[in-house]
Amino acid sequence: MNQLDALKAMTTVVADTGDFHELARFAPQDATTNPSLILKAVQKPEYAHLLAENRQRWHGRGLDERMDRLIVRFGCETLAHIPGRVSTEVDARLSFDTEAMVTRAQQLIELYEAEGVHINRVLIKVASTWEGIEAARRLQARGIATNMTLLFSFVQAVACAQAKVQLISPFVGRIYDWYKARAGAAWDEAAMAGASDPGVRSVRRIFDYYKHFGIATEIMGASFRNVGQIRALAGCDLLTIAPALMAELAASAAPLARALDAQAARDADVAHVVYDEIGFRYALNDDAMATEKLAEGIRTFAADAVKLEALLRD
């Protein structure tokens, strides 16, 4: 058994790509997309027809609608290659507007339903700002499952659990990036690998907290930089992995041990915490890494959405 198959025996493997042609190669359960991944995919020759189709069919419609129709088209094509769910992201430029996020999410679901896709096969991705978490709370109450993205801290994870969201996506690799850049020449890659990786430690803390208190929200580690981070989180509910890293796992026949244990977390000594809006904002502000990476992530996704809009205009 290769390591990818071994991982699938203990963790739901999710493909992190906008290139749906790659999915059959690795047979993931679910798939995730974001504006950056779709922008990358749509510029490949094999996807040029999707842009042309969008321009022809929806010419004259509002740009927001055309953007949503494009990403839903990618989502529908993705669902044709997987048995599970696809995650589709609300425009990052709405990350501080609860009402706008709720409205846009409902529009995305309506577009999926118009294509014959059942609501239970779609996760709506929302940024883990306070406003985004409140939007997710409202969406969940209306039967729309959410995937909380751009999550970098324990406080965000706790607030998402309080909102009873379906799934959170802590960004392992971007946490790692921040600490590595901060350390500069003092960074010791070997010493900070595996279970010592700061991104891995962040997910382990969230995992232990969720499992200890029986929180139903799913945890999906995301944004990996190397297979060592993935191996160190084997046993997590889900892991969303880029095709290149899945290929690396599939090429290895070395044994893969479970790294996260829900039963051990239930038996651990873990303190319960609650955050209201003021407490959330203060705790997030107090975490320089999470504050900076959240802001950077929103800016990056927003910039790629603008680039995608430019392609639609052309």
Residues carrying an active site annotation: 125
Q: What are phi and psi of 241, to 5 degrees?
A: -130, 135
**278-300 as b/e: b if 16+ CB within 10 A:** eebeebbeebebbeebbeebbeb
Burial 235-245 (b: 16+ CB within 10 A, else e): bbbbbbbbbeb
Q: Helix, strand, coil: what percent of the chain each, to 5? A: 60, 10, 30
Q: Would the CA dihedral through 282, 210, 91, 177 be positive or negative?
A: positive
Q: How far apart, in whole angstroms, are the C-alpha atoms of residue 36 and residue 304?
A: 6
C-alpha pair distances (Å), 4 with each of 34, 196, 234, 243: 23, 22, 10, 11
CA distance 164 to 159: 9
Q: How far is it, in rounded angstroms, from Cα 133 to Cα 96?
A: 10
CB 235, CB 258: distance < 8 Å: yes
Q: What whole-number distance in Å separates Cα of residue 191 and Cα of residue 169?
A: 25
CB 156 within 8 A of CB 284: yes
Token output for 58: 């929806």
How far apart CA 209 and CA 218 sit, in angstroms, is 12
